[in-house]
Amino acid sequence: MSRVLPAEGGLRRIIGDGHAIPDGEVDLTADQHRDLYRRLVLLRTYDERSLVYHRQGRIGTYAIFWNHEAMQAGSEFALELRDWIFPSYRESAIGILRGMAVSTVLSWWRGHPAGWWDPQELGVASICVPIGTHVPHAVGFAWGSKLRGEDRVAIAYFGDGATSEGSFHEGATFAGVMKAPVVLFCNNNQWAISTPIESQTAAATLVEKAAGYGMPGVRVDGADVLAVYDATRDAVVRARAGEGPTFIEAVTYRSAPHATADDPTLYIDEERVAEEKENECVGRYQRYLERLGILDDAQVEEVKQEALAVMRKGIAQAEAEPPADPGLVFEHAYAEPPPALADDLAELRRVLDG
């Protein structure tokens, strides 16, 4: 069974434990803290409701991101709206932090075209399901923005498994050489489905790979939203100053199944999952804000109810979409579709209508 990396100590942290480990500080106002908390809860609620919707047959296979919220909300909080996000399936809902309708993301998981969006609208690229192929996209985008004299940073999110992929290597090499204003954000949840990190790489940490691409690397506690924010902000400042890319390794331990189709009891370290759940990122930040006296029970309840209402509206809107035309499945792949596709479509329509 996989345990935590030996080098898991020494992670950058800001949130203490309220006892022996002291809290650090970050330069945010009380209002910004509450805004960040609201974002964290919105993602958590999105994720928990999505699992329920999946079990009710209302969305398809779903990649759970429970306890990855701090990595997503913390890093996004360090960006400006003009910066671009390149998400993987694990960050499917990150657009809602920028005002994307929840129904859009739910529609994506329903396999409905209402789940397609124009990346230019909110600076959120399409969700990337192939592992790591969006890393060169983000790097190319960032380099292109630099050539055009735009002040834009790109961030690509990917997992530990992605660091073994050719596209990660190509993208990171290119980013380093061209000094592209990009943040390579690795969620190291220590599993690529059932492949543990020690089978993924012989390196003691993922962050040390950064040196090979000529860029700095930072390791943070992935469940500490403030440490993630702080590290990403530093990376964004570097990128804007023309100093090039940064690799961030945010370390966590995947405490939910890879996706709704997975049974992790066959391979995961259950004790370690229990520890992670005990120390999950939303509760950790909530307790920190309570210690600072800038969040109380009534506000916690209000934020939760607001997020639940957003989700109720989102699923109602997604389900109100008229069924998509099955013909869409066959579009956008070929300029001149081969004749066999027309036969397949006719067969599909016959089955659906029958």
Ligand X SMILES: Cc1ncc(C[n+]2csc(CCOP(=O)(O)OP(=O)(O)O)c2C)c(N)n1
Quote the CA–CA distance of 158 and 137 in Å, as a whole number: 13
Residue 261 near ligand X by CB under 6 A: no
Closest-approach residue to ligand X (CB): 159
AA letter at 190: Q
Binder among 111, 130, 166, 326 for ligand X (CB under 6 A): 130
x/- map, 73-92, ligand X, by CB under 6 A: -----------------x--
Residue 102 near ligand X by CB under 6 A: no
x/- map, 12-51, ligand X, by CB under 6 A: ----------------------------------------
- Least Å distance, CB 198 to Mg ion, is 13
238 labelled catalytic: no
267 labelled catalytic: yes
Alpha helices in the chain (DSSP H): 30-55, 69-76, 102-109, 119-122, 134-147, 166-178, 197-200, 209-212, 225-240, 270-278, 281-292, 297-320, 339-353
Residue 192 near ligand X by CB under 6 A: yes
Which CB, 266 or 335, lies closer to ligand X? 266
Size of the site for ligand X (CB under 6 A): 15
Of 33, 68, 90, 254, which one is the catalytic site residue?
254
Residue 159 near ligand X by CB under 6 A: yes
258 labelled catalytic: yes
Residues that bind Mg ion (CB under 5 A): 159-160, 189, 192
The per-residue b/e assignment along 44-65, b for 16 or more CB within 10 angstroms, e otherwise, is bbbbebbbebbeeebbeebbbb
> Would you give the end-to-end CA distance of the chain in angstroms?
50
Which CB, 217 or 222, lies closer to ligand X? 222
Angle subtended by helix axes 281-292 and 30-55, to nearest 10: 150
Quote the CA–CA distance of 239 and 183 in Å, as a whole number: 8
Q: Which residue has the tokens 């910004």?
A: 32
- Least Å distance, CB 353 to ligand X, is 33
Residues 205-224 within binding reach of ligand X (CB under 6 A): none
The per-residue b/e assignment along 171-204, b for 16 or more CB within 10 angstroms, e otherwise, is bbebbbebbbbbbbbbbbbbbbeeebbeebeeee
The answer to whether 63 touches 191, Cβ cutoff 8 Å, is no
Which CB, 71 or 153, lies closer to Mg ion? 71
Binder among 103, 104, 107, 189 for ligand X (CB under 6 A): 189
Residues that bind ligand X (CB under 6 A): 90, 129-131, 158-162, 187, 189, 191-193, 258
Query: Catalytic residue numbers?
Result: 254, 258, 267
